[in-house]
Chains A and B, each alone.
Chain A
Amino acid sequence: MSNKTALLLFLGMTVVTYIPRMLPVLLLGKVKLGPRTEKFLKLIPYTAMSALVFPGVFSMDAARPWIGLTGVAVSGLLAWRKCPMVLCVLAGIAAVFLLLLI
């Protein structure tokens, strides 16, 4: 790909990526949120994270969906036991690595 084409593509992608990220900065102060809306916004992190993991994690190894599932189960269990986050992530990677070796 020529640098000119690449730059054109990157510029376009940058603009359409930045707009959704910055719109709330411009709009938020102008609207007063009710308690229900606030609760709605507080619930979004939980629903979003759940949706970011499922079903994506199953497609890590399409033929063996349980491999990804075991990986996040290991991480989840360690997080439940209040392990540091880096450890949770590394343990998940290690579990998947071992399962892929089998």
Chain B
Amino acid sequence: MNGKRQQFIRGMKAGTPIVMGFLPVAISYAIIARQAGMDTFQIALMCLMVFAGASQIMAAGMLIQGAQLAAIIIATFLLNLRHIIMSTCVFEKMEPSARAPRLLGAYWVTDESFAMFTTGTAKKDLTVWFFLGLGLITYLAWFVGSLLGAVLTNFLPAILSASLGVALYALFIALLVPGLKGNGRLSALAVLTAVCNTLLCRVMASSWALIVSTLLCAFLGVFFVDLGEEAAHEQ
């Protein structure tokens, strides 16, 4: 069966590892937002509206420092510019579909849903319905996690919240590694990007460094990396 409903459900299932990664980050977000003077309603509403982990944490941090609203909004824009790249990859890979569900799917494009969809998804599931399932489950996890965090703030041992911080990095690595297996040049490209971004982060804001190193290294990769299928096409 490969109906819309089945694709949607498979998308939700595929989102489970992201849920595992989101919960701890959502909890940390809630803890910081609480320090910024946001109440439980505001903490949850921000998740439902904005749905962008890194910028929500940054915004809470800026509020603590007394930043102006306009400054927070501009910083959010800069931080989320990277989603142009990720969204392009997602929709480029997706089978053709109507515009309305795509526009809803775009709302749920995150670093994580992008990574899962573009590297961890079987060909038959590269549809908008699969992506909507994936998006919805991550959206709910982000919302529920922030509520949990808002309630748990005072009970969670610090060492546990600290170790949960590795969850998203672990998720990205777990998505990255299988694709690199058996492709030395692609692995070299990943290492090159890591080095490049580490260096760039010393000279510019990390949100810019991420965009520059992602684009620059992918561009360099075009000239020396073989992606099995491509090579066959071009010969």
Interface residues of A (CB under 8 A from B): 1, 3, 5-14, 16-25, 28, 33, 35-36, 38-58, 60-61, 68, 71-72, 74-76, 78-80, 82, 85-86, 88-94, 96-97, 100-101
Interchain Cβ contacts under 8 Å between A and B, 26 examples: A1-B36, A5-B69, A6-B46, A9-B72, A13-B49, A16-B80, A17-B76, A21-B80, A21-B109, A24-B92, A25-B99, A25-B102, A41-B88, A46-B190, A49-B175, A56-B169, A71-B170, A72-B170, A76-B173, A85-B17, A88-B173, A92-B169, A93-B167, A97-B159, A100-B162, A101-B159
Complex A-B, nearest 9 residue pairs according to Cβ-Cβ distance, in ascending order: A92-B170, A54-B194, A97-B163, A88-B174, A16-B77, A75-B170, A85-B17, A22-B106, A12-B73
Quick one: which of B62-97 are within 8 Å of A by CB? 63, 69-70, 72-74, 76-77, 80-92
Q: What chain A residues lie within 8 Å of B36 (beta carbons)? A: 1
Q: Which of A50, A85, A89, A101 contacts B194 (CB 8 A)?
A: A50
Q: Which residue of B lies closest to A70 (CB)?
A: B166
User: B83 and A20: CB pair below 8 A?
Assistant: yes
Is B214 positioned at the interface, with any CB of A under 8 Å from its CB? yes
Q: With the chains together, A55 CA to B196 CA distance in Å?
A: 10
Q: Which of B42, B69, B219 contacts A12 (CB 8 A)?
A: B69
Known: A50-B190, A52-B210, A54-B195. 7 other contacts (CB 8 A): A1-B36, A1-B37, A17-B77, A20-B77, A41-B88, A71-B169, A85-B120
Q: With the chains together, A54 CA to B199 CA distance in Å?
A: 10
User: B49 and A16: CB pair below 8 A?
Assistant: no
Is B193 positioned at the interface, with any CB of A under 8 Å from its CB? yes
Given A23-B84, A23-B87: A45 touches B115 (CB 8 Å cut-off)? yes
Is B222 positioned at the interface, with any CB of A under 8 Å from its CB? yes
User: B170 and A93: CB pair below 8 A?
Assistant: yes
| Chain A: minimal CB distance from B12 (Å) | 14
Given A3-B42, A22-B107: A43 touches B189 (CB 8 Å cut-off)? yes
| Chain B: minimal CB distance from A57 (Å) | 5
User: B38 and A1: CB pair below 8 A?
Assistant: yes
| Chain A: minimal CB distance from B6 (Å) | 21
User: A13 and B76: CB pair below 8 A?
Assistant: yes
Interface residues of B (CB under 8 A from A): 16-17, 20-21, 24, 36-38, 41-42, 45-46, 49-52, 55-56, 59, 63, 69-70, 72-74, 76-77, 80-92, 99, 102-103, 105-107, 109, 111, 114-115, 118-120, 159-160, 162-167, 169-181, 186, 189-191, 193-198, 201, 206, 209-210, 213-215, 217-219, 221-222, 225, 227, 230, 233-234
Q: With the chains together, A34 CA to B124 CA distance in Å?
A: 24
Q: What chain B residues lie within 8 Å of A40 (beta carbons)? A: 218-219, 221-222
Q: What chain B residues lie within 8 Å of A91 (beta carbons)? A: 170
User: A21 and B106: CB pair below 8 A?
Assistant: yes
| Residue of B20, B51, B81, B193 contacting most chain A CB atoms (<10 Å) | B193
Q: With the chains together, A52 CA to B219 CA distance in Å?
A: 17
Q: What chain A residues lie within 8 Å of B16 (beta carbons)? A: 85-86
Given A53-B173, A75-B170: A46 touches B189 (CB 8 Å cut-off)? yes
| Residue of A36, A79, A94 contacting most chain B CB atoms (<10 Å) | A79
